[in-house]
Amino acid sequence: MDKTNDQLDAECIALLDRVDDLRRELRKLEPELTKACHAFGKRRGFIGWFNEWNVRNTLEVERTREKVA
């Protein structure tokens, strides 16, 4: 049986609310992630800004080296 327009609208609104909640949670976590990424870079000898993109790339390089070794 096909869903009614009201049911489809309710699903859309529920998804929108869920996404909004997740985005709020991410905004709360981002400052912590920024600090953790900066510390991650410092522990590897990088001076200056180190963001999540840098962490992902560093992890990829480190994991590749481990596989080769």
pLDDT in tens, 50-62: 999 999 999 999 9
pLDDT of residue 1: 74
- For the chain, the residue count is 69
Q: What percent of the chain has pLDDT over 90?
A: 91
How far lies 16's CA from each of 1, 48, 62, in Å?
A: 24, 37, 38
pTM above 0.85, yes or no: no
| 19 pLDDT higher than 90 | yes
The mean of the pLDDT values for the chain is 95
Q: Which amino acid is at 59?
A: L
Categorize the per-residue pLDDT at 33 as very low, low, confident or very high, splitting at 50, 70 and 90: very high
Torsion of CA 18, 23, 60, 35, to 10 degrees: -140
